[in-house]
Amino acid sequence: MAEPTICERIAIIGLGLIGSSLARLVRRDGLVGHIAGCARSDETRVRAEELGLVDSIDADPAACVRDADIVVLCTPIGAYSGLAATIAASLKPGAIVTDVGSVKQAVIRDVGPQMPNGTHFVPAHPVAGTERSGPESGFAELFNGHWCILTPPPETSQEAVDRVAELWHRAGMMIEIMDPAHHDLVLAVTSHLPHLIAYNIVGTAADLEEVTRSEVFKYAAGGFRDFTRIAASDPIMWRDVFLNNQGAVLEMLGRFTEDLTALQRAIRWGDGEALETLFRRTRELRRGIVDAGQA
């Protein structure tokens, strides 16, 4: 009954929330023969060994990818370009390089051209996460029931795409193939803008002169706490997302601000009907999310 393994050797570069969750999953379900991990910091490498996340651990990405059939980049996306340069010469012929980044056009620009002939790059984005980070925060079930978006350029080998799809399918994910520009637009609204807004409101609250931090903490149950959870997400990962999806984020931010100005005007002029109409409409949208199983 056991399904075949995905490949003999997988290299996971970066063992934070996503990388360590993938390692746990791959280990739990016996999806590969050998898990090679790579982490820059001594602390993460020690924790990864203590947690039994990997079969081998390296500080050097080039050493980690040697002999790997599949290489998964799981660092913040700002590090991808340097990583690609570092590993290129060590990739074995036929190796598949993939990633988990939340932006796809920038990744294709940064990684794609550096991959040697005879290797394959399949850009991927498993859309799942929590606000926690680090090797302790991962869990094998993180991906289950969510969507993974693949954005392979047209010339990508179908076999390589299928192999990456199979990996995430075995993680419990549903697979979607999408144009990278469209991916970046969709994620700007469903993920990047929400994070930006959450970071911003928590910052605004922290700066108030008349309301103490202690008051903000005590009465967070009124709605604020959900924003603080999102705004606790990894600072480097999110810095890199905003720097690398600038166009789509600025576009969505412009629309958001326009709408907010209209709402502000409705409050100032006491237009209860405008408020109620919007609030009823957003409630309907929630029902759609619940129906889609993503609540």
Conformational region of residue 270, where left means phi above 0, alpha means psi within -120 to 50, and beta covers everything else: left
Question: Which residues from 148-207 bind a second copy, rule CB under 8 A?
Answer: 149, 176, 182, 185-187, 189-207
Residue 88: CB atoms within 10 Å: 16
Conformational region of residue 92, where left means phi above 0, alpha means psi within -120 to 50, and beta covers everything else: beta
Backbone angles phi, psi at 65, to 5 degrees: -80, -10
Max distance between CA atoms of the chain, in angstroms, equals 67
Q: Is 295 in the site for a second copy (CB under 8 A)?
A: yes
Q: Between residues 44 and 90, which has the closer beta carbon with respect to a second copy? A: 44
What is the closest distance, in whole angstroms, from the C-beta atom of residue 270 to a second copy in the complex? 6
Tokens standing for residue 222: 């009124």
Rule CB under 8 A: choose which of 20, 98, 151, 233 binds a second copy: 233
Name which of 213, 8, 249, 4 is nearest 105 in CA terms.
Answer: 249
Contacts of 28 (CB under 8 A, 6+ apart): 140
Q: Is 89 in the site for a second copy (CB under 8 A)?
A: no
CB 12 within 8 A of CB 83: no
Question: Which residues from 234-293 bind a second copy, rule CB under 8 A?
Answer: 235-236, 238-240, 242-243, 246, 249-250, 252-253, 255-257, 259-260, 263-264, 267-268, 270, 272, 275-276, 278-283, 285-289, 291-292
What is the closest distance, in whole angstroms, from the C-beta atom of residue 131 to a second copy in the complex? 8
Q: Total residues contacting a second copy (rule CB under 8 A)? A: 97
Rule CB under 8 A: choose which of 2, 4, 93, 214 binds a second copy: 214
- Compose the 2-41 pattern: x for residues touching a second copy by CB under 8 A, - for all others: ----------------------------------------
Helices 246-268, 235-244: axis angle to 10 degrees equals 100
CB 157 within 8 A of CB 133: no
Rule CB under 8 A: choose which of 29, 55, 67, 131 binds a second copy: 131
Q: Between residues 155 and 207, which has the closer beta carbon with respect to a second copy? A: 207
